[in-house]
Amino acid sequence: MSLEDHKRVVRRFNDEVIVKGDRASFDALMAPDFVNHSAPPNVPNGAESMWHTFQNILRPALSDLRVTILDQVAEEDKVTSRKRISGMHTGSLMGVPASNRMVTIEVIDIVRVVDGRYAEHWGINTLPSVLAQLRG
């Protein structure tokens, strides 16, 4: 696969999985031995934990969910993306009741792509500060 192919895989994941919640796309894009190196302590770091984050935490809490990829760089088998996940806070988000405010989570992800699938993920995001603002 080319570097552009790797970037397309990541863009497809963001659109079809995070935004649309498409389980078939998720299954097609995740390697069976996927590892999420950014999973919180004492939380499983496999593919299902990623699905749970999007399907059971973000998507129910944020209506009109959008992902905007601001920058994307590929080298060898890794793609780094700087992106924004945004939406209207209309459902409970990690214990914070709906505020009906627009929220934006800034994210930097590194994804290792093998054979057109997510093999590994590392990431940082501003979700903790977003939650603090919603609570305040």
Amino acid identity at 40: P
Residue 132: phi and psi, rounded to 5, are -60, -40
CATH code: domain of residue 124:
3.10.450.50
pTM, two decimal places: 0.94
pLDDT tens figures, 91-104: 999 999 999 999 99
User: Average pLDDT in the 62-76 region?
Assistant: 97
Q: What separation in angstroms does the CA of 7 have from each of 63, 68, 70, 80, 117?
A: 26, 14, 13, 9, 11
pLDDT, residue 43, reads: 87
Q: How far apart are CA 67 and CA 22, in angstroms?
A: 15
Q: Is residue 41 over pLDDT 90?
A: no
Parent domain of 114:
3-135
Q: Are 84 and 62 in contact (CB under 8 A)?
A: no
The number of domains in the chain is 1
Assess whether pLDDT exceeds 90 at residue 15.
yes
Spell out the residues 6+ positions from residue 73 whose beta carbon is closer than 8 angstroms to its own. Answer: 79, 80
113-132, pLDDT tens digit by residue? 999 999 999 999 999 999 99
Q: What average pLDDT score do residues 41-70 get?
A: 94
Q: Using one digit for the tens of pLDDT, what is the confidence trace for 74-94? A: 999 999 999 999 999 999 999
CB 89, CB 100: distance < 8 Å:
yes
Q: How many CB atoms lie within 10 A of CB 93?
A: 22
Q: What is the pLDDT of residue 136?
A: 83
- Whether residue 69 is predicted with pLDDT greater than 90 in this model: the reply is yes
- At residue 40, the pLDDT reads 85
